């Protein structure tokens, strides 16, 4: 639950960064960005996979760049649902999608998810199962 809230705050910060950098994106206050991040997170959860699946041929032909158009559509939808969060036009939404993606990537890489990582028998973090051969051909 803590990880979801941290990602929500990261998306809120990314929305506020895009509003600060772009003229076509307006955020009234922190709570508008906070609720816009919530709506954008819900739209990304429920509609983005469907939109990516439906536009897969054009996304492949554009080498994945059409994903920014999908993100722009979702940002524009979120701006229609949240008062205090406004995106002026399509190009502002495209650039907001680009800035939000970059800011989200940078902030997420700085603030790591503190989920459970299994430890190896040597006490180090490991993402794999450490097996060793015992008693002939048996792995444990």
Which helix H or strand E contains 55, and what residues bound it? none
- Of 101, 104, 82, residue with least CA distance to 6: 104
CA 140 – CA 103 distance, rounded (Å): 44
pLDDT per position as a tens digit, 15-45: 999 999 999 999 999 999 999 999 999 998 8
Helices marked H in 22-140 — which ranges?
30-46, 48-54, 56-61, 66-81, 90-110
The 3-state DSSP class for residue 86 equals: strand
Query: Number of folded domains in the chain?
Result: 1
| The 3-state secondary structure of 9-53, one letter per residue | HHHHHHHHHHHHHCCCEEECCHHHHHHHHHHHHHHHHHCHHHHHH
For the entire predicted model, the pTM comes to 0.74
Q: Is 124 a residue whose pLDDT tops 90?
A: no
pLDDT per position as a tens digit, 67-96: 999 999 999 999 999 999 999 999 999 999
CA 76 – CA 113 distance, rounded (Å): 28
Q: Which domain holds residue 103?
A: 2-139
The 3-state DSSP class for residue 138 equals: strand
Asked if 11 and 40 touch (Cβ cutoff 8 Å), the reply is yes
- Tokens 């006490």 locate to 123
Q: Is 121 a residue whose pLDDT tops 80?
A: no
CA 81 – CA 84 distance, rounded (Å): 10
């Amino acid at each position: 639950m803590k990880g979801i809230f941290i990602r929500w705050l990261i998306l809120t910060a990314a929305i506020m960064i895009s509003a600060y950098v772009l003229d076509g994106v307006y955020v009234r206050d922190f709570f508008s960005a906070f609720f816009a991040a919530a709506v954008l997170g819900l739209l990304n959860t429920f509609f983005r996979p469907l939109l990516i699946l439906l536009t897969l041929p054009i996304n492949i032909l554009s080498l994945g760049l059409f994903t920014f158009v999908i993100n722009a559509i979702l940002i524009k939808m979120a701006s229609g649902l949240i008062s205090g969060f406004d995106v002026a036009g399509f190009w502002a939404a495209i650039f907001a999608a680009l800035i939000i993606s970059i800011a989200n990537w940078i902030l997420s890489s700085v603030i790591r998810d503190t989920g459970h990582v299994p430890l190896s028998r040597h006490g180090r973090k490991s993402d794999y199962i450490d097996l060793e051969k015992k008693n002939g051909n048996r792995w444990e």
